Amino acid sequence: MMKIVFAGKSNEYEIEKSSFCNEAFVIKDKIPNRDGVDFITNIVKTLEFNDDCFNFDEIMKHLERYSNEDVIVVENFFNNETDDETKKINLDSDMYIQAFTQDDAQNFSRNDSKRGQFKLLKTFSRIFQNANFIIKSENYELSGNIQLSKKDKLEIFRDLEYKDMEIGFVKIEIFNYDNINDSLNFNLEEFPSGASYKYGILQNTMYIILQGKMSNNSLFSFLKSFVYKNKNKQSCNKTFVLTFNHKLVYRLEASFI
């Protein structure tokens, strides 16, 4: 397992779940010309900052179970004293990483156990501020549902409205994608100049990502050319999601019957 060492303090970085890989996140240094941007996968065990260390699982759990609380990692939170014998509580992996508020910790330290009194050894060992995490909202600007015959073609972004904004990142996701029975067509002549792209299929989801400085006219023309065709003889459901600059803008639920 690897360890990555960063030059700055933990509150000088932004962390965002990867748009392309489920078990990964992107960490960006907010200080120019220092550490830059790193793509972190689970081969990395520890992220060491100038003020603290965090492991990969701690950060992923917060990204997957987002709350408004700061990430507070508690180690050796209490000892249990029984009959003059002090026994250290070894927390398992599920209990090891927990989020507590300040009130929770104070109340906990005041409560006695029937078997013995818990003594607070130390308060919060490490805090990763919630402001450091970029969490994508699940609110879509435009969403809809459509029902089609299995023989019908679907113009995925037909109802997408033109946006006069600077767009440097585009992600298209097709959930429940079947590599054998599904087909996706688009007009490459409309591909926006200045953009690079990558695509892949992971866990029955197709990802298409465009990055770069793109003309809005060419980008929207390109998106409007996307046509999905279902070859499956059985009924199925598909979900199409579009993201601009890490903001969810469009979601379409399609049922093929």
Question: CA 40 to CA 56: how far, in whole Å?
Answer: 8
CA 250 vs. chain centroid, Å, equals 17
Q: What pLDDT does residue 63 have?
A: 77
Q: What pLDDT does residue 69 have?
A: 54
Q: What pLDDT does residue 233 have?
A: 82
Q: What pLDDT does residue 154 have?
A: 95
Tokens describing residue 246: 């890490």
Question: CA 74 to CA 122: how far, in whole Å?
Answer: 9
Q: What pLDDT does residue 138 have?
A: 57
Q: In b/e form, how buried is each residue of 114-152, taking b as 16+ CB within 10 angstroms?
A: eeeebeeeeeeebebeeebbeeeeeebeeeeeeeeeeee
DSSP category for residue 26: E
Question: CA 10 to CA 47: how far, in whole Å?
Answer: 9
DSSP category for residue 85: E
The per-residue pLDDT string of the chain (257 residues; one tens digit each, 9 = 90 and over) reads 689 999 998 888 888 887 667 788 888 898 989 998 888 998 999 999 988 888 898 888 777 665 555 554 444 444 444 444 333 333 333 333 344 344 444 444 444 444 444 444 444 445 666 666 765 555 667 788 999 998 899 999 998 888 888 888 899 999 999 988 999 999 999 999 889 999 888 888 999 999 988 888 999 999 999 999 988 888 899 999 999 887 889 999 999 98
CA 202 vs. chain centroid, Å, equals 15
Q: In b/e form, how buried is each residue of 9-42, taking b as 16+ CB within 10 angstroms?
A: ebebbebbbeebbeebbbbebeeeeebeeeebee
